[in-house]
Structure 1
């Protein structure tokens, strides 16, 4: 697949989607949205892919929306930002969250606005120590989108989510790790390598089971305990019927390494 604004490769069971507009800190324009949609579709339908890595080229991960695509001239009619969100950002976040495989993010630099919230929508997030997370929406009179108001509230709590959203303060990778926003801060030169190595390791694991883990933990944000217990029962029923479960038990009993196929 050939793209102008992203790079997309598949190796060792891992799809690697790299945002590639470094001169604009990988901010999104209409063409980039279209290309990311295509890459996510390919990731979903390709049976060889069992994990996805999302990262960026250059000194930034993603600065969110390219505002030159939305410049409002004096006296001009204001754009319908809700329409843009419904067409582009919401489907992207839903696709990332719904992928039945681990999604690993390597935040290689600044992640601002929607860029920060795309990263936080992923399942496991590694960030370079120099990276910064910024809810920059308040600086231009907007609210956090791309799931930001939901993700922040569920990861760092309402008080911190409110302050981050209203003040637009920069949060370092170390602070994000301490607050539980991300999994781990790592050295700059190792962030992409670490994310890809983690994804390749996960691609050898029982993919169906990992997808069910993802589904269960996501549901816990809104379920009651009784609802979550019922969901665990139902998902465990599904997991227990997979070939990977059969292989995992056989390998344990035979004292050997399992060979999972993601089935």
Structure 2
């Protein structure tokens, strides 16, 4: 265990970012938010990293905002207390959603509030059996942050998203997957190994194609059909100019497995 609230490990082309503050059950203190923002930005910009795992210690993935610190910040007024949304939460989620490489969440423990936002900002999730999740915001008189106003309805639909936020009920990983929150469910001690194995698999894949796929999916809801088709044409041309594409076509013709280098 490290004294740092966020730890980054790089093994080959996979970077694992771990929320490691068990004393606070990985609630997001200022120190944790600043460390997480720096860690996510760093791996996003690192060309040697081709896939990322976001994990929490097993007792909790992330409980969201640390309410003890939040209560103290409120003494200086709401504007000061909620500057953290723009300064910390929004940059982290933006980088998770837009970094040109796949990101997987390893959710082995409770995941609530901004923690749920972080998990849904990843491209895929590995949940432990029976893990509890919650939006939690309206229970303390708040609404969405960490991108959940976008990611939650995309995953479960508008009606379900309203239910989960308005009533604030907890739900299980099993329910989440059944509703459409992309992921898989394994035993608790298998969560991080499974997420890491998937990240290694993706790290060996066509990096540019993954990046363009994330970009197209992020932009598509705001585009007309013609603009979406034009964006696809541009993205395919970019992918087609890579050695990954030409090499994979050659491998297909010779019936050999392709090797992707990320170029």
Q: Which residue of 2 aligns with 1:215?
A: 215
Give 1:48 deviation, angstroms: 1.6
Compute the TM-score of the two structures, normalised by the length of structure 2. 0.94
TM-score (ref. length: structure 1): 0.94
Partners of 1:225 and 1:128 in 2: CA distance: 39
1:144-223 superposed matches below 5 A:
144-223=144-223
Q: CA deviation at 1:110?
A: 0.8
Change in Cα spacing, 1:182 to 1:122, as seen in structure 2 (3 Å) is same
Cα gap change, 1:3 to 1:240, in 2 (>3 Å) = farther
Contact kept in structure 2, 1:130 and 1:188, CA below 8 Å: no
Change (3 A) 1:236 1:3: farther
Helix, strand or coil at the partner of 1:70: helix
Q: How does 1:46-65 map to 2 (within 5 A)?
A: 46-65=46-65
Corresponding residue for 2:17? 17
Give yes or no for contact 1:70–1:79 (8 Å, CA) kept in 2.
Answer: no
- 1:7-86 paired onto structure 2 within 5 Å: 7-72=7-72, 76-80=75-79, 81-86=81-86
Equivalent pair of 1:106/1:127 in contact (CA under 8 Å): yes
Asked if structure 1 preserves the Cα contact closer than 8 Å seen for 2:57 and 2:109, the reply is no
2:99 is aligned to 99
Could you tell me how far apart the structure 2 residues matched to 1:182 and 1:211 are? Answer: 18
- My pick for the range that moved more, 253-262 or 198-207, is 253-262
Q: Runs of 5+ in structure 1 lacking a partner?
A: none
Give the CA deviation at 1:131.
1.2
Displacement of 1:29: 1.1
Aligned alpha-carbon RMSD (Å): 1.7
**How much does 1:45 deviate?**
2.8
Match of 2:138 in 1: 138
Deviation at 1:72, TM superposition (A): 4.8
Gap regions ≥5 residues in structure 2: none
Partners of 2:13 and 2:203 within 8 A in 1: yes
Higher mean Cα deviation, 81-90 or 114-123?
81-90
Q: Aligned pair in 2 of structure 1 residues 73, 189: CA closer, same or farther (>3 Å)?
A: closer
Aligned equivalents of 2:73, 2:218: Cα separation in 1: 41
Q: Residue 171 of structure 1: CA displacement?
A: 1.2
Number of equivalenced pairs: 261
Counterpart of 1:44 in 2: which secondary structure?
helix
CA distance in 2, matches of 1:210, 1:29: 32
Query: Are the counterparts in 1 of residues 135 and 164 from structure 2 also a CA contact under 8 Å?
Result: yes
Aligned mates of 1:156, 1:46 — CA distance in 2: 32
The corresponding residue for 1:113 is 113
Which runs of at least 4 in structure 1 moved beyond 6 Å after TM superposition? none
